[in-house]
A and B are shown apart, each in its own frame.
Chain A
Amino acid sequence: AQSVTQLGSHVSVSEGALVLLRCNYSSSVPPYLFWYVQYPNQGLQLLLKYTSAATLVKGINGFEAEFKKSETSFHLTKPSAHMSDAAEYFCAVSAYTGNQFYFGTGTSLTVIP
């Protein structure tokens, strides 16, 4: 069975500071992992995905994530936070049946001016 755990339901960073959002996964098979972003009152938008081609994955808006099998982690980072990064971020793992996604509980990112 697949699942993801996001540590920290709320993260605050100063503008220009490093953003680090944590995601750990559990999977009995090689995982396929995704990060989505949700801006207020909107649907989810794909930031990036890991499909085993490369462990360091670059996404949109300057975000990237590194797949670490030994740590079962797929943390999301951005070197310098912008005010526009304030949103809810979801980590997800896909299953092999029906392409189901299992989402984490989300991390709300606040960027302080």
Chain B
Amino acid sequence: NAGVTQTPKFRVLKTGQSMTLLCAQDMNHEYMYWYRQDPGMGLRLIHYSVGEGTTAKGEVPDGYNVSRLKKQNFLLGLESAAPSQTSVYFCASSYKASVYNEQFFGPGTRLTVL
């Protein structure tokens, strides 16, 4: 049982390049989330998904797109990377729509945009 995994672990991009971050979970969770973590700002929600084929915007969605074609996968895309998107990105998942269900986190992807 791998839990939540993220690919890649590290990435360096040049301004304007695109990339996709992959999140996979093997816990059959309905809900999945993408966060970014920046110093002094905690974790901020980018987008989330309440089920296969559905996505919704979080607190800081601009510059990102997501897709949830399969229940176990949640992809985060950057179409034209900017230095302001340099951050650590975390994926998380939770069992279902319950306010007291914990979220399970992946190990993170460290992205640097030059």
Contacts and interface: CB of A to CB of B under 8 A. Distances in A.
Contact of B90 (A34, A44, A51, A105): A44
Q: How large is the interface on A (under 10, 10 to 19, 20 to 34, 35 or more residues)?
A: 20 to 34
Contacts, number: 60
Main secondary structure of the interface of A (DSSP, over half): loop
A63 interface: no
A100 B43 contact: no
A65 to B, nearest CB: 14
Nearest to B103: A101
B97 A44 contact: no
Nearest to B48: A98
A39 B103 CA distance: 17
22 contacts: A9-B40, A36-B105, A41-B108, A42-B108, A43-B4, A43-B107, A43-B108, A44-B43, A44-B90, A44-B92, A49-B100, A90-B43, A94-B99, A99-B94, A99-B97, A99-B99, A99-B103, A101-B33, A101-B43, A101-B45, A103-B43, A106-B42
